[in-house]
Amino acid sequence: MAFYPSLAPVVGTARMAESVAGLYIHIPFCLKKCPYCDFYSITDLSRKESYIQALMSEMKLTRETAHSFDTIYLGGGTPSILSGREVEKILMTAKTVYRIHPRAEITMEINPGTVNAKALDAYRQAGVNRISMGIQSFDKQVLKKLGRIHTAEAAIRSLQEVFASGFTNVGIDLMYGIPDQKRSDWRADLAQAVGFKLDHISCYMLSFEPGTLFETERLAGRIDSLPDTAIADMFQLTVAELALGGYNQYEISNFARPGRQSRHNVKYWNGSPYLGLGAGAHSFDGFTRSWHFRNIDRYIQVLADGCLPVSGEERLTQSQHMLESIYLGLRTTAGIRQRDFERRFGIIFEDLWGDLIVDLRGQGFVQSSPDRIALTVAGMLFLDAIVGRMSDQIGDI
Ligand code: SF4
C-alpha cells in the first residue's frame, strides 16, 4: 500500500475515469456522538466555518482533475448542522468549479432535531433535491438505546416538515438488530415507515464496530448482541414487509419505489468513479482508491498550505479489482452481468466459478441466468462467506 507524503503535491492526482462520477462531501460535525457510530465526526462545532473554507479550497484544487458529476451527496456526520447559507455556499462553489449535470441528484442527509421549516426551505433553494433522514427507529426505547438526540415525535415532525417544504424525493434510514429489540418492534418500525409513502428506505443491521462505545460495552459483557438467527429473521422480514409496501430491494440494505434508487449510492456498487471531499472522505477514480486525513485540523491545515489532504492511496491489483466487483455486485439484486465481467477482466466466468455457482444454486443461495448471477435473499445472509469461496478460486490472477 503506497502512502502519499503527508503534504501531497497537487500534481500527480489520477484523472477521474471517463464515466460521469459522483461527488461526496463529508460534513464531520454532530451534536452528540452515537455510541455505535464509527463515521468520522466531531462535536466541536467551532471549526465549522474554517472547515467550509477548506472544502471550497479542496474543490478549487481538484478542478483540473475531476470535473464532471451527475450526483452530489452531502453526508456526515450531520450535514443539517449547516445553515441554508452554508449549504448554498458549498453547492454554489461546486457548481462554479466543476461541471454539474443540470439534472444532478443532490442528496443531503438530515437528522431529526437539527432542522426546521426555514432551514429546509433554504436547502431546497440551494439546490438540494433529495433528502435522506437518519431516523433509525420510531420506537422510544430503541432510540434511547441508540443514544439518538431525537424522539420519535421529533422524527415524525421533521418528516412532515420535509414534505411540507416541497421535497419530492425523500428517504429514511432505519436500524435493526439492536440489543433487546424484538421482531414485533422491528415490524412496527417498518409498518410506520411504509405508512409515510417515502421514496426510499434504507435498513441497516447494527454492527459492533471496533473503537465504538457499543463494542467496548459488548466486549465487557454489559450489552449483548442479538443472536444471528434473530437478525437473519429480521432481515428476511424487512425484505418481505417492504415488498408488500411497494419497495423493491435493489441492494442488501436499500429499498426503493420504482425509479427512486439512490443514483449516487448505485455508483459505489457498480464501480463508477467518485470523488470524496472533506476530512476522512474516500475517492475512487476507477483504478485507485485514496483517502483523506481523518482529522479535521490536519485537513484544514494541509489545504491552507495549498496541498491536497490525501493520507493514502492504493491502486487495485487485477485480483483485488475482480474481488471488489464481485463483492459489490453481489450486494445488489441486479447482481453481476457475466459478459461485462468477462470483458472487463479477461477471464471466463464459467471456468473459474462454474462448479461453485451450481453448488450455491443447489443450496438456494444464488439465482443465475445465462447472463447474470445474483444472490437470493437467503444468499445475502452469507455474502461474506460466498465471496470468500469465490475469492479462493481467483488465486494469484
Ligand atoms: S450516527 Fe450519525 S448522528 Fe450519530 S454520531 Fe454517527 S454520524 Fe453523527
Angle in degrees, CA 111, 117, 118, rounded to 5: 110
- 13 pLDDT band, cuts 50/70/90, is very low
pLDDT surpassing 60 at residue 6: no
β-pairing, 68-76 vs 99-110, is: parallel
Test site for ligand 1: of 27, 29, 41, 143, most ligand atoms within 8 A of the Cβ = 41
Superfamily holding 21-269: Aldolase class I (3.20.20.70)
Mean pLDDT over residues 65-92, rounded? 94
The reported pLDDT for the residue numbered 397 is 53
- Comparing 13 with 60, which gets the higher pLDDT? 60
Task: Name the 3-class secondary structure at 373.
Answer: strand
**Which amino acid does the sequence have at 315?**
R
Distance between Cα 338 and ligand 1 center (Å):
38
The reported pLDDT for the residue numbered 5 is 25
Task: Name the 3-class secondary structure at 336.
Answer: strand
**Of 352, 343, 275, which is closest to residue 309 (Cα–Cα)?**
275
Q: Is the dihedral of CA 127, 130, 132, 138 positive or negative?
A: positive
β-pairing, 254-256 vs 200-205, is: antiparallel
Give the containing element (helix H, strand E) for 355: helix 349-362
**What cell numbers appear for 80 in the block?**
443539517
**Residue bearing the CA closest to ligand 1, atom 2:** 77
- Cα–Cα distance, 329 to 136 (Å, whole number): 26
Mean pLDDT over residues 379-391, rounded? 95
pLDDT surpassing 50 at residue 10: no
**Of 43, 113, 103, 122, which is closest to residue 76 (Cα–Cα)?**
43
Structure confidence by residue, pLDDT tens digits, 29-40: 999 999 999 999
Test site for ligand 1: of 36, 39, 82, most ligand atoms within 8 A of the Cβ = 39
pLDDT surpassing 80 at residue 389: yes
Q: Which CATH architecture has domain 318-394?
A: Orthogonal Bundle (1.10)
Distance between Cα 390 and ligand 1 center (Å):
34
Cβ < 6 Å from ligand 1: which residues? 30, 33-34, 37, 39, 41, 76-78, 111, 134
The reported pLDDT for the residue numbered 113 is 84
- For 18, counting Cβ atoms within 10 Å of its Cβ (0-12 exposed, 13-18 middle, 19+ buried), the class is exposed
Structure confidence by residue, pLDDT tens digits, 103-134: 999 999 999 989 999 999 999 999 999 999 99
Distance between Cα 208 and ligand 1 center (Å):
14
Task: Determine the atom of ligand 1 nearest the C-alpha atom of 147.
Answer: 4
Structure confidence by residue, pLDDT tens digits, 172-195: 999 999 999 999 999 999 999 999
Instruction: Enumerate the domain spans of the chain.
Output: 21-269, 318-394
Place of cell 470535473: 67
Mean pLDDT over residues 15-38, rounded? 86
Q: Which residues pair with 140 in a beta bridge?
A: none
Kindly write down the DSSP assignment for every residue of 141-159, as one continuous string.
Answer: HHHHHTT-S--HHHHHHHH
Distance between Cα 76 and ligand 1 center (Å):
7
Q: Which residues pair with 313 in a beta bridge?
A: 2, 290
| Topology agreement, domain 21-269 and domain 318-394 | no
**Of 340, 343, 353, which is closest to residue 392 (Cα–Cα)?**
353
Task: Determine the atom of ligand 1 nearest the C-alpha atom of 77.
Answer: 7
Structure confidence by residue, pLDDT tens digits, 140-182: 999 999 999 899 999 999 999 999 999 999 999 999 999 999 9
- Cα–Cα distance, 338 to 340 (Å, whole number): 5
Q: How far is CA 145 from CA 38, 45, 136, 224, 363, in A?
A: 16, 25, 11, 12, 37
**Residue bearing the CA closest to ligand 1, atom 7:** 77
What average pLDDT is seen over the chain?
A: 92
pLDDT surpassing 50 at residue 11: no
**Residue bearing the CA closest to ligand 1, atom 6:** 37
